[in-house]
A and B are shown apart, each in its own frame.
Chain A
Amino acid sequence: EAGVTQFPSHSVIEKGQTVTLRCDPISGHDNLYWYRRVMGKEIKFLLHFVKESKQDESGMPNNRFLAERTGGTYSTLKVQPAELEDSGVYFCASSHRRALNEKLFFGSGTQLSVL
């Protein structure tokens, strides 16, 4: 079974540019989450999809961030325009509907550097 896949693994962009991160969850997982770790600090929750619906987006930093999950399969997270403080590692995770936390599987992350 393939794990959670994230593209790209690294992205270096200039301030003001747009970047789109992609996450392919484990097949059949209705729950999809985005998390972010900034500068070696804690990993912070951004938002949660159940299929194509946003269940909880309370962790999204501001309206420069837009997450979508059309069709309830893969998800994209767009940052537009990117700012320096957006640099960090963006993790995606997925799980079955009503799965316990132990069954939350993370991808390897996208390292975003905004210069």
Chain B
Amino acid sequence: DQQVKQNSPSLSVQEGRISILNCDYTNSMFDYFLWYKKYPAEGPTFLISISSIKDKNEDGRFTVFLNKSAKHLSLHIVPSQPGDSAVYFCAASLSNAGGTSYGKLTFGQGTILTVHP
């Protein structure tokens, strides 16, 4: 049973336009969400995160939106650049009692983003 799903295997966007990557989860106990970016032959690298007490977090060109009632989050990249072309993974975690978790993440399948010049 896959608890985090990215239903779009790929997304193609023109440079300068907005990229929207979507993610759905089923476990309502998840309370921390992250997006990772992965280039070929490299490991995933952290991009942006959001706690379940928020509905939006912004970092430069990247914004993550969380809709808890719908168990849905999305990553917006504006404007998109060719260097953003990579695989994007959505991940979720359960916080421990101390408010931090210990790296046990549940990932989605990934979405391949291609940004055309």
- List chain A positions with a Cβ less than 8 A from chain B: 4, 9, 31, 33, 35, 40-45, 48, 50, 55-56, 91, 93, 95, 98-109
Contact = CB atoms under 8 A, between A and B. Distances in A.
Contacts, number: 72
Given A98-B98, A101-B32, A106-B45, A33 B103 contact: yes
Interface in B36-91: 41-46, 49, 89, 91
Interface of B: 2, 4, 32, 34, 41-46, 49, 89, 91, 93, 98, 100-110
Contacts of B2: 42
A43 B107 contact: yes
A109 B41 CA distance: 8
Nearest to B109: A42
B43 A93 contact: yes
Contacts of A9: 41
Given A48-B102, A100-B101, 15 more contacts: A9-B41, A31-B103, A40-B109, A42-B106, A42-B109, A43-B89, A43-B110, A45-B104, A45-B106, A48-B103, A93-B43, A99-B103, A101-B91, A102-B49, A109-B43
